[in-house]
Chains A and B, each alone.
Chain A
Amino acid sequence: MPGLFDRLDKEIKDRQKEGGISPLDLAALPPALRRIMRVMLRELSASYPRLCDAVDSMPEKDRLSRPELDSALSDLTEQFWLIRIGEKEKAIYKVNLRRKEGSKLAAGIWSALENKLKGRS
């Protein structure tokens, strides 16, 4: 029987399939959001208090107020660029990176290539 961790893991994986942010989108974000996205990418996930700490350590000109941070996190979550587990102070956030699409070449080309390669090995 799956435990709490397994269920949360499944929930995250299901949500990750629903879109996500591309590395190029990251470059287009405002500086403060880019920095908190970087924290989440490096730490794989971050709690709300951790993100508040990250914002507080930014240069004053880039720093977000708490309402601005809350609003940004909410917007990013709605776009599926972030995945949120839990609510408010207890929320955990994780970046949802968009999958790199496979080649659009006709499927027949790949199976022909695969057969050819199998024949060689």
Chain B
Amino acid sequence: MSDGKIVSIHSFRGGTGKSNTTANLAAQVALTGKRVGVVDTDIQSPGIHVLFGLDEQKMGRTLNDFLHGAASIREVGFSIGENPGEGQGRAQLKGSQLFLFPSSIKGGEISKILKEGIDFNVLNEGLQTAISEFDLDYLFIDTHPGLNEETLLSIATSDVLIVILRPDTQDLQGTAVTVDIARSLDVPNLLLLVNKALPKHDPQAIKAEIESKFDAPVTSVLPLSFDMAENASRDLFSLCYPDHEWSKALKNVVPFILNAK
């Protein structure tokens, strides 16, 4: 088995801030000197490329091309360290070993996947080959919300699964389902991350309650932030505003990833 670890980031429901959190976490881990990949397996509704400053023109080859046999995974990997683009936050990634494996945002490509389905043997080969060919220490997988088959595959092959949830009854019920499935798939490190917690509530109390409910560690409690909303995915918030409460809380998650067995 390759030494590189797969870190899947999942949420049962949409709107939890999964892509924003994944991109910021991957950037923070890359800034520790690790070689990091980020793959967007949310093929139906891709979005994480925006946080890395990519659009349809800059994107080049995509995961869709790889799945259709039109590109190698080597061709899909886009070096953020060499092309950090504009944005004061992303500029700090210049020279880092951070690679993005984006999904296509072309309507025709998305409908082609929906119409033809996905060969999971090819998808899994792509994920494992990305780790070996790019000599990655960590491959972050940004999954589609809910439990579809590609999400289950990424959970089944993960070393670390981070489930993002809001302190909301619907999220709590959905997270219970995800946690059950992750346990039945023997994920070695199951971690929780609370996002969009109301500032009036005590983060320690939220952490204690959720840890007790799911019997799994809560890595951090990120506050609901209007500043974060105002950023509107234009840049990597934790790099732009490193002293902001949201950024400081996010950085608490990094040691959990680096110390995962």
- Interface residues in chain A, defined as those with a beta carbon under 8 Å from any beta carbon in chain B: 16, 20, 22-24, 26-28, 31, 34-35, 38-39, 41-44, 95-103, 105, 110, 113-114, 117-118, 120-121
Between-chain CB contacts (< 8 Å), 17 pairs: A20-B121, A22-B152, A23-B120, A38-B156, A38-B157, A41-B156, A42-B157, A44-B128, A95-B124, A97-B121, A97-B124, A100-B119, A100-B120, A100-B149, A114-B111, A117-B107, A120-B107
Please measure, in the bound complex, the distance between the C-alpha atom of A41 and the C-alpha atom of B83, giving whole angstroms. 32
A96 and B181 within 8 A (CB): no
- Interface of chain B: mostly helix, strand, loop or mixed: helix
Are B156 and A103 touching (Cβ within 8 A)? no
Q: What are the residues of chain B within 8 A of A27 when measuring CB–CB? A: 152, 156, 181, 184-185
Leading 6 A-B pairs by shortest Cβ distance: A23-B152, A97-B120, A102-B117, A117-B107, A100-B118, A27-B184
Are B1 and A43 touching (Cβ within 8 A)?
yes
On whether the beta carbons of A23 and B111 are closer than 8 Å, the reply is: no
Residues of B within 8 A of A (CB): 1-2, 106-108, 111-112, 114-121, 124-125, 128-129, 149-150, 152-153, 155-157, 181, 184-186
A residues less than 8 Å from B121 (CB atoms) = 16, 20, 95-97, 99
Provide the bound-state CA to CA distance between A39 and B184, in Å: 16
| Also in contact, A24 and B128, with CB within 8 A (given A42-B1, A102-B117, A113-B111) | no
> What are the residues of chain B within 8 A of A105 when measuring CB–CB?
115
Instruction: List the A residue with the shortest CB-CB distance to B111.
Output: A113
Contacts A23-B149, A34-B185, A100-B149 given; does A39 touch B117 at CB 8 Å: no
Give CA–CA (A10, B2) in the complex, Å: 25
Apart from A24-B149, A43-B2, A110-B111: 8 A-B pairs, beta carbons within 8 A: A22-B149, A23-B120, A38-B156, A38-B157, A42-B2, A42-B157, A44-B125, A113-B111
A39, B1: Cβ atoms closer than 8 Å: yes
